[in-house]
Structure 1
Amino acid sequence: MPFPALVEPGPPLSPDQLTRYARHLLLPSIGETGQRRLLAARVAVVGAGGLGSPALLYLAAAGVGAITVVDDDSVDATNLQRQVIHDAMSVGLSKVESAVDRVRGLNPDCDVVGRHVRITDENAREVLAGHDLVLDGSDNFETRYAVDTACAELGVPLVWAAVYRTAAHVTTFWTAAPEGLPAVGLRDLFPDPPEPGSVPACGDAGVLGALVGQIGSMMTSEAIKLVTGSGEPLLGRVLYVDSMASTQRSIPLAPSGRYDAAVRRPAAPAPPAAPETTTVSATALAALVEAPGSPFVLDVREPAEIAFGMVPGSAHIPLATLRDGDPDALGVPRDRTVVLVCKAGPRATLAAATLRAHGYEQLEVLDGGMLAWVDEVDPSLPRY
């Protein structure tokens, strides 16, 4: 069935706008009416990072009239490899401040505002209310599921994407889609978030910068189709992109009946608390590794991360190898305290849980991981 346009057309275009958007006006699928819809649209972009950067730039260039940028992070030098809305002068600034300045400079037709806030279950609905659609370029599962729930409650479409190393998924969710269209949401694709730390973030796994540019641009294409009622959005389909093989595959996605329960379900009883793992500070560990009877320090990062430096004397077993193997056979001792190390802490905590399940008892996690080691012990090592 034809896809309905999300937004009613705004006022007639000015002479300057006729010139600025001429290449859109020449497209039969957009034309003057579609451009007026874009100028009347209100779009929220969650995340001004790898995906949000190209999405924001192309939303602004397309003439989306009102854009809200939502992010709670600041620009880091490691972001510049892919987050093209920021530049070297932006390092240390909030991503919202940097992105808003860039969008305002790109197109004065755009009324752009920033929300320097981390979206949670408690505030997502308030932050996203009043928008015609939402683009989610966030980098953590807590935010993704909070955004999905809020969009389901508000009845607005959600353009969603995720990138892992050199591959990506992109789709459109809309649990309130008009009759005859697939009313799908994130929970139809992934019913529950993964265990914390079990899926490496790009800071742990790496990511191809050009790929997030490609996918962020595709998110904007989805937004333009939704606003103008043109083409065939990815509603009911997930596009899988493999940049190394230069392939794209469309995967059908059907409603699973989760959404009434997911959005309005009563609070479930809290699961029993897992045993807490003791942490050790970087400075305390530095003293321990120099002392008699030092602990067994086990680095569970990926092999490529080892080039950034290690705690002196530590052994290396990647988390996946540890979880799939026999710790005894891998050489993890039972008669010494084992200190688990990763970049920031989550993977080391998962490694501790794995060892505990095998009967290991003397376990500690380096608090803050190698980033804390760099900050507190050895600043000659690079942060990454």
Structure 2
Amino acid sequence: MSDAPHPLSEERLDRFARHIVLPEIGGAGQAAISRAHVVLLGLGGIGAPALQYLAGAGIGKLTLVDDDKVSASNLQRQTIYTTRDIGHGKAVSARRWLANFDEKLDVTIHDRRIAPDNVRAIIDGADLVIDGTDNFATRLTVSDACVAAGVPLLSAAVGRFQGQVGAFAGHRDGQPCYRCFVGDAFDAEDCDTCAEDGVLGAMVGWVGTFAAMQAIRILVHATGGMGDPQWGKLHLMDGIKPGMRTLNIVKDPACSGCG
């Protein structure tokens, strides 16, 4: 993130006034948000509500990545799409939603599947990557690339009535990466999906919006902001109780991703 001043026009000051009056954000924090480049991987149940609140917060540059098309079954939880989007690419539809919401945002889309041979080019130069993809193989590929590129990672996942959001900075001394948490046993694409197990739409919304809040926490950290960026903390969310608990993930010295 550039340290150069980022003056906000009168129109933008008015748009983000409710942020700016918060001492934890203020003008400096909002300027930091407006300079930030966030890569959002996956524009599904988690990515859709996360995108809405990231855009609402005024994230200056967004890179959106998804190779899927909108289907009728998505509309139960993927809040940026409508019936008219069915059959169209999610990345293109998400960019259309953003253009209607805030034309001042800088948006780039990639409508191809994340793979080891393209992920580095997509995330290079970002201030933060948010991963809402739906299988461990992709998540581990993303985690390894983030460590190599020196980019922090917010990883979010959900199933049925359970969710999790964790912040990882494995490129930093003493900090774990996502692979430290799950290990090497999940590099194959064989995990369960919400199509098989089901998922409550509102639960996905909770996870996505919490991920957006944690992203803002990270992006304003340099200005004093919202306190600890919470590296290595995994928040587990339970929609049935309801409740939340937090685990501390430790760095694995033998980790193949960041050790």
**TM bin (shorter chain):** over 0.9
2:66 partner amino acid: D
1:198 Cα deviation from its structure 2 partner: 5.2
Report the identity percentage. Answer: 36
TM-score by length of 2: 0.93
- The match for 2:24 among 21, 26, 29 is 29
Match of 2:11 in 1: 16
2:197 partner amino acid: A
Q: 1:196 to 1:262 in 2, by over 3 A?
A: closer
- The match for 1:186 among 178, 182, 198 is 178
1:103-131 Cα offsets, whole Å, 9 max, x none, are 12111221111101101111111111121
- How many residue pairs match? The answer is 255
Does 1:121 find its partner at 2:121? no
Paired residues for 1:73-92 under 5 Å: 73-92=68-87
1:39-89 Cα offsets, whole Å, 9 max, x none, are 111110000000000111111110000000000000011000001011111
1:18 Cα deviation from its structure 2 partner: 1.1
CA distance in 2, matches of 1:197, 1:42: 29
1:184 partner amino acid: P
On the 8 A contact 1:128/1:134 being kept in 2, the answer is yes
1:206 Cα deviation from its structure 2 partner: 0.3
CA distance in 2, matches of 1:194, 1:250: 22
CA distance in 2, matches of 1:163, 1:191: 19
Does 1:219 find its partner at 2:211? yes
1:185 partner amino acid: C
Match of 2:245 in 1: 249
Match of 1:162 in 2: 157
What secondary structure does 2:145 align onto? Answer: helix
Q: Which runs of 5+ in 1 are unaligned?
A: 1-5, 265-384
Task: Select the structure with the greater relative contact order (CA < 8 A; seq sep ≥ 6).
Answer: 2
Paired residues for 1:187-336 under 5 Å: 187-194=179-186, 196=188, 199-229=191-221, 230-231=225-226, 232-259=228-255, 261-262=256-257
Does 1:144 find its partner at 2:144? no
Match of 1:58 in 2: 53
Q: 1:242 to 1:228 in 2, by over 3 A?
A: same
On the 8 A contact 1:7/1:228 being kept in 2, the answer is no
1:233 partner amino acid: P
1:199 Cα deviation from its structure 2 partner: 3.2
1:197 Cα deviation from its structure 2 partner: 6.6
What secondary structure does 1:149 align onto? Answer: helix
CA distance in 2, matches of 1:9, 1:169: 34
Larger Rg: 1
1:184 Cα deviation from its structure 2 partner: 1.2
Q: Which runs of 5+ in 2 are unaligned?
A: none
